[in-house]
Amino acid sequence: MEGAVPAWAHEPPEIRSPDPGWRESARAESVRLAVVLGPWLVDGVEHIGSTAVPDLPAKPVVDLMASVGDPDVVAREAAAELAADGWCAVPPERDGRPWRRFFVKPDASGVHRVAHLHLLPAGHPRWYAQLAFRDTLRRDPGLTARYAALKRCLATRHAGDREAYTRAKSDFVAEVLGRSDRSGP
């Protein structure tokens, strides 16, 4: 993602009906990432986010999270192979989340995101929080329905600002995490 900001960086948050194909896409990407990131993986690759929750409307972007020893080392040493698979590294200063290294996989047009890769250091609290959020929603259809309604409302309210959409969900996420056990192993 050097130089000009790519079109997918400004893609608005569009919520779509649940698609069973998201699970298969996540599985295929996870298998490939396990090979590419294998030398550095600690706790594997996990499908997270809304596409990982059955019956939850979502942006059609599969979120994957990989637990590694040092995300900076992995981002540097696996860069060429990730790029060959279509992954674009987002510079840490643009991502604004110093605890991870972030990659986006756009579609062939370069306009739409199809997947995200979050590289997290092994044992990071965010790893456990992401899994706890996903698993709590998977277990509670009522909570999932509330989240679906919120997402649709916020996607309309923040149609031109993907980051504002994400920030606006934070109170709900905190509420869900307050109900879950995210202590880790």
Fold of 8-177: Beta Polymerase; domain 2 (3.30.460)
The three-class DSSP label of residue 20 is coil
In eight-state DSSP terms, residue 120 is E
pLDDT in tens, 10-22: 888 899 999 999 9
In order of 44, 73, 101, the CA distances from 59 in angstroms are 24, 30, 21
Q: How many CA atoms lie within 13 A of 140 on its CB side?
A: 16
pLDDT digits (tens, 9 = 90+) for 60-111: 999 999 999 999 999 999 999 999 999 999 999 988 899 999 999 999 999 9
